[in-house]
């Protein structure tokens, strides 16, 4: 049987499970990107974990895409803003520049804005060696205090914008939640940290991996994002309406004529919407929605294969098995049943 290939939208939803890559994106032609997080006293646990989760999820899809390491300013545990103690992998030491390609300073609402001679020296050493630097919450303040944000745009928590701007008139402090300016990446909040890391994954590893991570983490904005061969952007409202109808009618799929009638468009107009904005046909997109939902039900419910087939609009188990095997490379009976 010829292996079917998901369109852009379908591929990113199923990237982790596609048998054509043995469940993974191959990473043999790229070395791991080494990311270090410096955890300061009372660092924002939410900002740290939001950023960390994106990289860990990327590694689920593309093993060893990122090598992650955490540091403290001194040996021992570091207290977070929630009072939870974390043990960094290592204390920050001179010479650690050989261990990272990106070093991110993790601050928090109650992190004291006190200069650290050790931190400033290590940051300056990293900058001289071309290592990218970043900051979470008020982590940008420590980059600015070390003189490493002059000529850069940056993001910092609103409480700290004034104090960061006072460090140097050459620092452009923005109200943005996250900013990546050349080799400086800064975020002002947990959501900003997520957005910052997602953009870095997109720049470093490509759109396919970034979309796969966003789907696993249920990123809300991705549902109506262009994922075909066209430029990245938002889908038009008419196409959104059609997709809503498709997603609401998986058990009894609507015909193209019915979709056209419901949204007040001709079949030809609908076909053009899908081709122009998603790079695929309405029929293929609908099939991929149904196969994706079937994969989710098989993995995360106790429904029988017949019940899954019916729930996803397949006329018979044999037809369902043929379609499922075509996309995933194995039959529904061989799917991992996580709910059993």
- The pLDDT of residue 338 is 73
At 74 the pLDDT is 93
What's the confidence (pLDDT) of residue 231? 43
pLDDT of the chain along its 340 residues, tens only?
A: 566 777 666 666 676 666 444 444 555 457 889 999 999 999 999 999 999 999 999 998 888 899 999 999 999 999 999 999 999 999 999 888 889 999 999 999 999 998 899 999 999 999 999 999 999 999 999 999 999 999 999 999 999 998 899 899 999 999 999 999 999 999 999 999 999 999 999 999 888 888 888 888 865 554 545 555 444 457 888 898 999 899 889 999 999 999 999 889 999 999 999 999 888 899 999 999 999 889 888 887 888 999 999 999 998 999 999 999 988 888 999 888 776 5
Look at residue 299 in the predicted model and tell me its pLDDT: 84
- In this prediction, residue 21 carries a pLDDT of 46
CATH of the domain at 195: 3.40.50.880
Whether residue 189 sits in one domain with residue 120: yes
Does 25 fall in a domain? no
User: In the prediction, which pLDDT does 229 show?
Assistant: 45
- Give the model's pLDDT for residue 96: 84
Do 272 and 138 fall into the same domain? no
Q: Is residue 225 part of a domain?
A: no
CA 181 – CA 179 distance, rounded (Å): 6
In this prediction, residue 23 carries a pLDDT of 44
Res 140: pLDDT? 96
Distance CA 58, CA 215 (A): 11
Distance CA 325, CA 138 (A): 50
52 and 110 together in one domain: yes
Helix-helix angle 282-300:256-263, to 10 degrees: 100
Are 199 and 250 in the same domain?
no
Same domain, 192 and 64: yes
184 and 134 housed in the same domain: yes
User: Is residue 18 situated within a structural domain?
Assistant: no
Is 69 among the domain residues?
Answer: yes
Q: What is the dihedral of CA 162, 164, 167, 169, to 10 degrees?
A: -70
- Is the domain of 40 the same as that of 176? yes
Question: Residue 252: which CATH number?
Answer: 1.10.10.60
Domain range enclosing 58:
33-211
Name beta bridge partners: 133: 103, 184
Q: Are residues 74 and 150 in the same domain?
A: yes
* pTM as predicted: 0.73
Considering the domain architecture, whether residues 195 and 314 belong to the same structural domain is answered as no
Split into its structural domains, the chain has a count of 2
Does some domain include residue 89? yes
The Cα–Cα gap between 294 and 284 comes to 15
| Token representation of residue 208 | 């396919």
Query: What is the model's pLDDT at position 127?
Result: 95
Q: Quick one: 151 and 261 in the same domain?
A: no
Please check whether residue 64 lies inside any domain of the structure: yes
Alpha-carbon gap, residue 115 to 147, rounded angstroms: 12
- Which stretches of the chain are assigned E, i.e. beta strand? 33-39, 66-72, 78-79, 85-86, 90-91, 102-106, 132-136, 153-155, 172-174, 178-181, 184-187
Radius of gyration of the chain (CA): 24
Tell whether 26 is covered by a domain: no
Q: Please, which residues have CB within 8 angstroms of residue 83's CB and are 6 or more apart in sequence?
A: none
User: Is residue 51 packed enough to be buried (19+ CB in 10 Å), middle (13-18) or exposed (0-12)?
Assistant: buried
My answer on whether 131 and 261 are in the same domain is no
Do 250 and 183 reside in the same domain of the chain?
Answer: no
């Amino acid at each position: 049987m010829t292996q079917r290939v998901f369109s852009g939208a379908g591929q990113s939803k199923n990237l982790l499970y596609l048998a054509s890559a043995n469940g993974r994106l191959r990473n043999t032609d790229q070395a791991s990107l080494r990311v270090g997080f410096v955890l300061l006293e009372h660092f924002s646990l939410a900002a740290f974990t939001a950023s960390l989760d994106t990289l860990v999820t990327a590694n689920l899809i593309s093993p060893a895409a990122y090598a992650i390491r955490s540091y403290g300013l001194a040996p021992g545990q570091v207290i977070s803003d929630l009072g939870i103690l974390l043990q960094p992998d290592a204390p920050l030491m001179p010479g650690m520049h050989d261990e990272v390609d990106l070093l991110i300073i993790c601050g928090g609402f109650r992190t004291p804005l006190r200069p650290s001679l050790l931190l400033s020296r290590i940051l300056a050493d990293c900058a001289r060696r071309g290592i990218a630097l970043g900051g979470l919450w008020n982590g940008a303040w420590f980059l600015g205090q070390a003189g490493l944000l002059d000529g850069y745009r940056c993001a910092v928590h609103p409480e700290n914008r004034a104090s960061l701007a006072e460090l140097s008139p050459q620092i452009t402090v923005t109200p943005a939640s996250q900013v990546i300016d050349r080799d400086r990446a800064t975020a002002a909040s947990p959501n900003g940290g997520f957005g910052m890391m997602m953009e870095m994954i997109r720049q470093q590893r490509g759109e396919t991996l970034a979309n796969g991570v966003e789907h696993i983490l249920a990123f809300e904005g991705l549902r109506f994002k262009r994922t075909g061969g066209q430029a990245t952007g938002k889908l038009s409202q008419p196409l959104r309406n059609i997709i809503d109808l498709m997603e609401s009618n998986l058990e009894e799929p609507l015909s193209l004529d019915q979709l056209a009638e419901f949204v007040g468009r001709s079949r030809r107009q609908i076909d053009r919407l899908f081709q122009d904005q998603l790079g695929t046909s309405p029929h293929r997109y609908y099939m991929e929605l149904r196969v994706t939902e079937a994969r989710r039900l098989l993995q995360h419910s106790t429904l029988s294969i017949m019940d899954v087939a019916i729930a996803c609009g397949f006329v018979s188990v044999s037809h369902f098995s043929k379609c499922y095997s075509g996309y995933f490379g194995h039959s529904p009976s061989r799917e991992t049943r996580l709910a059993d």
